[in-house]
């Protein structure tokens, strides 16, 4: 009996040792297998994303070179363009060095073929820009290079999705190994049930933690991919808007400069054209300055001065620029000083005026009726200059307010289509207010208006000198001698579909010089109505217009004129 008990205990101990040994071994195998597969899968996803980033950076570099005028800057960008190839090749080589299944080998084979096709297309586009080829050729080369990029990105996406699939299969495999360990434990655990439960709990916890980490990693990758896609879409929309915003003042500058040379132009008409050229040039300069300032802010290289400046002078210059535009739009405008206000404050006049012009221009854009007011006060406790820009425009929701301080983003996608704009002004105003030692806050309600409050650090103020009245600054007109040119007279009726008022004035002058009768339409919808109601010898149609674009208007007009689809 004694020996039987000893043998029994020995058998039990042997079974326990066997159970523990097999369970530990199975757990180690499962964990090692999962860890190895997860590390390989994550490495493949990382290398694939690096290759995607390199492809995207090369395409962005091509677009950057396309927009650059300076040959030196373009040469520098070309060097960066070629340098982006190295991360792609390094990631590709590391990816090829990892174990692969047949599906991955097929994807890599396709990637290699597409890369050989895409590489010369990208380099050809880059060389065209370096040789200062015609912009149409450069644009076509960029488009072809961009099209060659799509199959590469698609295959890299397939590779990432394949790794995620393998990650799921890894979890299934780990679960299968765990099940085997569990059944073995249950089989032997008739005698040692308690120990089997403990081991099962340990294994379950280990697998759960591994699974949780894998899911968290996949979630992080998905979020990063979504953010990258959102940033790409926002910047693409920004580039499209920026192109339109820059072309408009350039058209006005060139056009009004030419019309001022017509022999039939009076001196007043020429002066008006010159003022329009100056205004458009300043608008174009503001757009370029906004882009440069944003790049400086993003790089933490924005320089801000702190010099003595009169707030009345700055506000007077802002009023001189904004007031005529507000009056032309039928808006009540005024600058209200809440005294006392220091004679001078310590700040950067250029940046302060830039913030106020951005806010006032924004208010003018989104206010159709009512008022635009600027309230100025001084907080003696904190030594802050407080300026409120108040309008009765379309207003914003809380969700829209959260978006407007982000670069390249407007409060709503329909805003860009209806009102235009680059989406930079308010973002720059937010950042510059902070650079001036203060902040910008926004209070707004939909359909009721908005109040943009700018708080600026006024610095050390001499409290013995305060001003109680504002100075008026007249703007002298310049006299310019111009040599007239002559034009050939025509006859007929022309319909001009154009939403920009300056372009309407410009083209009207051109057409008047040709002795033709001109009618106007502010958008594609109005153009359709006029075109179907009256016969015109010529219809000039802008492509990008609010309500309905030029292309939509042409297709709509054709469908009305030819109702039978078979005749189109």
The pLDDT tens digits of the residues spanning 376-424 come to 999 988 899 999 999 999 888 888 887 777 655 554 444 544 444 555 6
Tell me the pLDDT tens digit for each residue of 328-382: 999 999 999 998 899 899 999 988 998 898 899 889 988 999 999 999 999 988 8
Two tokens, residue 185: 């434990």
Band of residue 495 on the pLDDT scale cut at 50, 70, 90: very high
The answer to whether 505 touches 276, Cβ cutoff 8 Å, is yes
Q: Per this entry, what is the length of the chain?
A: 568
**Parallel, antiparallel, or unpaired for β 466-467 and 341-342?**
antiparallel
Give the residue carrying structure tokens 């001698």: 481
Note if the pTM is more than 0.85: no
Closest CA to 184 of 33, 27, 13, 10: 27
Predicted pLDDT at 308: 92
Give me the percent of the chain exceeding a pLDDT of 70. Answer: 74
Which residues of the chain form CATH 1.20.120.1730? Answer: 10-237
Domain limits, CATH 3.30.565.10, in the chain: 305-467
Domain range 493-567, its CATH number among 3.55.40.20, 3.90.960.10, 3.40.50.2300, 3.40.640.10: 3.40.50.2300
Q: What is the pLDDT of residue 473?
A: 39
Q: Which of 227, 239, 230 is nearest to 59 (CA)?
A: 239
C-alpha angle 98-104-107 in degrees, rounded to nearest 5: 125
| Model pLDDT, residue 423 | 57
Query: Looking up tokens 């520098």, which residue turns up?
Result: 76
Strand ranges for 96-184 from DSSP E: none
Question: Residue 507: pLDDT above 50?
Answer: yes
Nearest partner of 185 among 368, 15, 35, 418, judged by Cα: 15
Specify which residues 333 forms β-bridges with: 372
Q: Is the pLDDT of residue 80 over 70?
A: yes
Q: Which of residues 26 and 161 earns the better pLDDT score? A: 161
Nearest to 354 by CA among 346, 362, 364, 344: 362
Q: What are phi and psi of 384, to 5 degrees?
A: -120, 140
pLDDT at 157: 78
Helix (H, G, I), strand (E, B) or coil at 365: helix
Indicate if the alpha-carbon torsion angle 389, 393, 398, 400 is positive or negative. Answer: negative
Question: Which residues fall within 8 angstroms of residue 342, CB to CB, at 6 or more apart?
Answer: 311, 378, 385, 458, 461, 462, 463, 465, 466, 467
Strand duo 493-497 + 538-541: pairing: parallel
pLDDT of residue 252: 81
Q: What does each C-alpha distance from 331 to 84, 334, 451, 532, 561 come to in angstroms?
A: 52, 10, 16, 35, 41
pLDDT of 11 reads 56
Overall average pLDDT of the 123-143 stretch: 77
Least confident of 286-295, 339-348, 437-446: 286-295
Q: Which residue has the higher pLDDT, 238 or 71?
A: 71
Confidence class of residue 568 from pLDDT cuts 50, 70 and 90? very low
pLDDT score at 478:
41
pLDDT tier for residue 207 given thresholds of 50, 70 and 90: low
End-to-end CA distance of the chain: 105
How far, in Å, CA of 116 to CA of 120, rounded?
A: 7
Q: Which CATH architecture has domain 305-467?
A: 2-Layer Sandwich (3.30)
Least Cα distance to 561 among 522, 528, 527 occurs for 528
214 SS3 class? helix
DSSP track, 419-453: H---S-HHHHHHHHHHHTTSEEEEEEETTTEEEEE
Q: pLDDT tier at 508 (50, 70, 90 boundaries)?
A: confident
Helix (H, G, I), strand (E, B) or coil at 98: coil
The rounded percent of the chain whose pLDDT value lies above 90 is 14
- State how far the Cα of 135 lies from the Cα of 515, in Å rounded to an integer: 34
The pLDDT mean for the chain works out to 77
Phi (first) and psi of residue 151, to 5 degrees: -60, -35
- What token pair was written down for 174? 């780990």
User: What is the average pLDDT across 305-316?
Assistant: 90
Q: Tokens at residue 344, please? A: 């001078």
Q: How far is CA 67 from CA 34, 71, 242, in A?
A: 49, 11, 11
143-198 pLDDT, tens digit per residue, is 887 777 778 777 777 777 777 776 677 667 666 766 666 676 666 666 566 555 55
* Alpha-carbon distance values, 556 to 108, 526, 539, 561 (Å): 47, 12, 15, 9
Question: Spelled out in words, what is the top-level CATH class assigned to the domain 10-237?
Answer: mainly alpha
Closest CA to 91 of 117, 54, 57: 54
Numbered ranges of CATH 1.10.287 in the chain: 245-297
The stretch 450-479 carries a mean pLDDT of 71
In the CATH hierarchy, which fold is given to the domain comprising 245-297?
Answer: Helix Hairpins (1.10.287)
User: Looking at residue 386, what is its pLDDT?
Assistant: 95
| 462 or 454: which leads in pLDDT | 454
The CATH 3.40.50.2300 portion of the chain extends over 493-567
What pLDDT band is residue 115 in, cutting at 50, 70 and 90?
confident
- Asked if 208 contacts 219 with a C-beta cutoff of 8 angstroms, the reply is no
Q: Which DSSP string do the residues of 327-339 spell out, in sequence order? A: HHTT-EEEEEE-S
């Amino acid at each position: 009996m004694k020996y039987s008990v000893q043998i029994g205990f020995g058998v039990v101990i042997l079974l326990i040792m066997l159970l523990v040994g097999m369970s530990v071994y199975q757990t180690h195998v499962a964990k090692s297998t999962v860890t190895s597969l997860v590390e390989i899968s994550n490495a493949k996803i990382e290398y694939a994303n690096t290759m995607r980033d390199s492809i995207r950076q090369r395409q962005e570099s091509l677009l950057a070179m396309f927009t650059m005028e300076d040959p030196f800057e373009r040469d520098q960008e070309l060097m960066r363009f070629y340098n982006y190839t190295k991360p792609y090749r390094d990631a590709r080589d590391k990816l090829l060095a990892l174990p692969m299944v047949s599906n991955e080998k097929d994807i890599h084979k396709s990637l290699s073929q597409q890369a050989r096709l895409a590489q010369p297309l990208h380099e050809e586009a880059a060389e065209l820009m370096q040789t200062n080829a015609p912009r149409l050729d450069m644009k076509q080369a960029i488009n072809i290079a961009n099209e060659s990029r799509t199959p590469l990105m698609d295959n890299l996406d397939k590779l990432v999705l394949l790794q995620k699939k393998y990650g799921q299969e890894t979890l299934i495999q780990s679960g299968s190994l765990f099940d085997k360990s569990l059944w073995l434990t249950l089989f032997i655990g008739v005698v040692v049930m308690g120990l089997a439960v403990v081991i099962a709990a340990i294994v379950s916890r280990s697998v759960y933690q591994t699974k949780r980490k894998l899911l968290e990693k996949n979630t992080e990758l998905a979020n990063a991919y979504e953010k990258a896609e959102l940033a790409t879409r926002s910047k693409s929309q920004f580039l499209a808007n920026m192109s339109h915003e820059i072309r408009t003042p350039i058209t006005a500058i060139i056009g009004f400069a030419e019309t001022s040379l017509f022999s039939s132009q009076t001196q007043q008409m020429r002066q008006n054209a010159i003022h329009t050229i100056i205004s458009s040039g300043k608008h174009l300069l503001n757009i370029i300055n906004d882009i440069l300032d944003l790049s400086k802010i993003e790089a933490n290289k924005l320089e801000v001065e702190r010099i003595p400046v009169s707030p009345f002078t700055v506000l007077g210059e802002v009023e001189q620029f904004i007031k005529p535009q507000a009056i032309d739009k039928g808006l009540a405008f005024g600058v209200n000083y809440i005294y006392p206000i220091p004679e001078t404050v310590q700040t950067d006049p250029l940046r302060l005026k830039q913030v106020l012009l951005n806010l006032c221009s924004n208010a003018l854009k989104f206010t159709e009726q009512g008022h635009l007011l600027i309230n100025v006060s001084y907080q003696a406790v904190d030594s802050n200059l407080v300026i409120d820009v108040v309008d009765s425009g379309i207003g914003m929701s809380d969700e829209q307010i959260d978006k407007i301080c982000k670069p390249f983003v407007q409060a709503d996608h329909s805003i860009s289509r209806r009102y235009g704009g680059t989406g930079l002004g308010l973002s720059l105003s937010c950042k510059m207010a902070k650079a001036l030692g203060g902040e910008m806050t926004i209070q707004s309600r939909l359909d009721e208006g908005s109040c943009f409050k700018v708080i600026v650090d006024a610095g050390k103020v001499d409290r013995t000198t305060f001003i109680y009245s504002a100075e008026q600054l007249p703007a002298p007109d310049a006299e310019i001698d111009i040599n007239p040119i002559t034009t050939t007279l025509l006859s007929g009726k022309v319909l001009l579909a154009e939403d920009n008022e300056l372009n309407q004035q410009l083209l009207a002058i051109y057409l008047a010089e040709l002795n033709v009768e001109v009618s106007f339409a502010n958008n594609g919808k109005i153009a359709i109505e006029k075109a179907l109601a009256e016969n015109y010898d010529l219809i000039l149609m802008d492509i990008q217009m609010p309500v309905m674009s030029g292309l939509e208007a042409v297709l709509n007009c054709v469908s009305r004129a030819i109702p039978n689809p078979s005749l189109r």
